[in-house]
């Protein structure tokens, strides 16, 4: 859409090292794997690629190493038409993620941050200066907390719509919640942030602490969106999951695209659910992310979802 707002992603870039196995190993247990592959990942880069493949104008800012993984990640971003002049190559090695995926698509992930910790305030400032007008800002927790703090404050002052995906979970100060338009944890992260196992209760807790709106993604149960004037739930598409890696990033990237295009929140939630539903039917992080035509074909096949008040 020509008049859609820009999307800026300030976040992480990792190379994913993925092992597939019948079941996830327990503590102290060795299991045999069936497959191994590498794929571009990192929550920031995943969300940037998800949005770009859906047709958005996306700028990515971040840090990779001056190594083979870093060069591969940069080539991938350029191939997906993500503006990545502000992805800086630094002395630290490129971030990596060790991922195990079982036969049901469930996963475990260990992230080694590497170059993702090389952020400074100057890079954040250059990121905002590189975009011609305010749009949608996407942040995650795979970069230093100080970088996110600086980005949220700068974005609020400049009129951006700020989306914080607090993954992995860490405490979010109330003063930052008040500057964030949407905080979007998954169910596990919502519990870690609030102490509540009930998504609706967790969302209300975050609203009481100052969040403007809250989106709790619930995997196969869909997603719950809450703000001061009510709550809406959107179901997930009923598909057989092959790999849930980056499903949340597919959701957040698609949601950002829909909001940048001016869709209302209920329609944005439905579009995001379709993008995530498509992603879980494919292996890998960025390899699973669909194009605009693929997501539209997926919606035509499974039907349009509807977010309903709850």
Active site residues: 249
Which candidate, 109, 92, 87, places its Cα nearest to that of 39? 109
**Cα–Cα distance, 213 to 182 (Å, whole number):** 5
Phi, psi of 157 (to 5 degrees): -65, -30
DSSP string, 87-156: EEEESSPPEEEEEEE-TTS-EEEEEE-GGGG---HHHHHHHHHTSSS--EEEEESSS-HHHHHHHHHHHH
Element (H, E) at 162: strand 161-165
Element (H, E) at 34: strand 33-41
Determine contact, residues 182/206, Cβ cutoff 8 Å.
Answer: no
**Cα–Cα distance, 115 to 112 (Å, whole number):** 9
């Amino acid at each position: 859409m020509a008049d859609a707002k820009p999307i800026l992603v300030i976040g992480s870039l990792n190379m994913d090292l993925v092992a597939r196995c019948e079941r996830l190993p327990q503590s102290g247990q060795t299991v045999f794997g069936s497959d191994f592959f590498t794929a571009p990942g990192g929550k920031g880069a995943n969300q940037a690629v998800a949005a770009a493949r859906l047709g958005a104008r996306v700028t990515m800012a971040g840090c990779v190493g001056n190594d083979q993984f870093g060069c591969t990640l940069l080539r991938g971003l350029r191939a997906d038409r993500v503006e990545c002049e502000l992805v800086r190559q630094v002395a630290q090695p490129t971030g990596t993620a060790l991922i195990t995926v079982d036969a049901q698509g469930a996963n475990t992930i260990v992230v080694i941050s590497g170059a993702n910790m090389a952020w400074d305030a100057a890079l954040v400032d250059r990121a905002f200066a590189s975009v011609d007008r305010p749009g949608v800002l996407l942040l995650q927790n795979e970069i230093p907390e100080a970088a996110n703090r600086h980005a949220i404050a700068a974005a609020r002052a400049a009129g951006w719509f700020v989306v914080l995906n607090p993954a992995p979970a860490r405490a979010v100060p109330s003063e930052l919640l008040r500057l964030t338009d949407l905080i979007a944890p998954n169910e596990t992260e919502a519990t870690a942030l609030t102490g509540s196992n009930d998504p609706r209760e967790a969302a209300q807790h975050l609203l009481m602490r100052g969040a403007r709106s809250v989106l709790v993604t619930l995997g196969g149960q869909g997603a719950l969106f809450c703000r001061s004037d009510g709550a809406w739930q959107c179901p997930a598409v009923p598909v057989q999951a092959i790999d849930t890696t980056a499903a949340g990033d597919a959701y957040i990237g698609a949601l950002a695209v829909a909001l940048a295009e001016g869709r209302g929140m209920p329609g944005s939630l439905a579009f995001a659910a379709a993008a995530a539903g498509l992603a879980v039917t494919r292996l890998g992080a960025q390899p699973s992310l669909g194009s605009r035509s693929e997501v539209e074909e997926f919606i035509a096949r499974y039907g349009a979802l509807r977010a309903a008040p709850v």
